[in-house]
Amino acid sequence: DTAVSQTPKYLVTQMGNDKSIKCEQNLGHDTMYWYKQDSKKFLKIMFSYNNKELIINETVPNRFSPKSPDKAHLNLHINSLELGDSAVYFCASSRAGGSAGELFFGEGSRLTVL
């Protein structure tokens, strides 16, 4: 039973399209995150939600919009995709405020923009 699951695992799409990635966690955690890992494996936080409320929004283009319908789900919608959006996007969760410090990651969603 996967703790943090993301769908889809692979996305291949054309520039200008809109796409969404879904994330669900069954760990009962209050905090969820989206990370972007580029081709050089550099991992950078994009967003963090605590109990459906946005608490971290790093410098990310407005084309990226996270949505948290409940504390077990955090989806990422990307409008007008660009070549530079190609990356692996990881969803993660942690206990409230990450107090235990451990992030639980999903397996990632590899987005390729052509």
Binding-site ranges for another protein (CB under 8 A): 4, 31, 33, 40-45, 48, 55-56, 90, 92, 94, 97-103, 105-108
Alpha carbon distances (Å) from 24 to 40, 56, 80: 26, 19, 24
Q: What are the φ and ψ backbone dihedral angles of 96, each rounded to 5 degrees?
A: -50, 120
With respect to another protein, which residue has the nearer C-beta, 66 or 106?
A: 106
Find the shortest distance in angstroms from Cβ 79 to another protein. 25
Find the shortest distance in angstroms from Cβ 75 to another protein. 17
With respect to another protein, which residue has the nearer C-beta, 42 or 59?
A: 42
Find the shortest distance in angstroms from Cβ 19 to another protein. 20
Supply 42's token pair: 């550099």
How crowded is residue 19: how many other Cβ atoms within 10 Å of its Cβ?
Answer: 17
d(CA 105, CA 15): 27
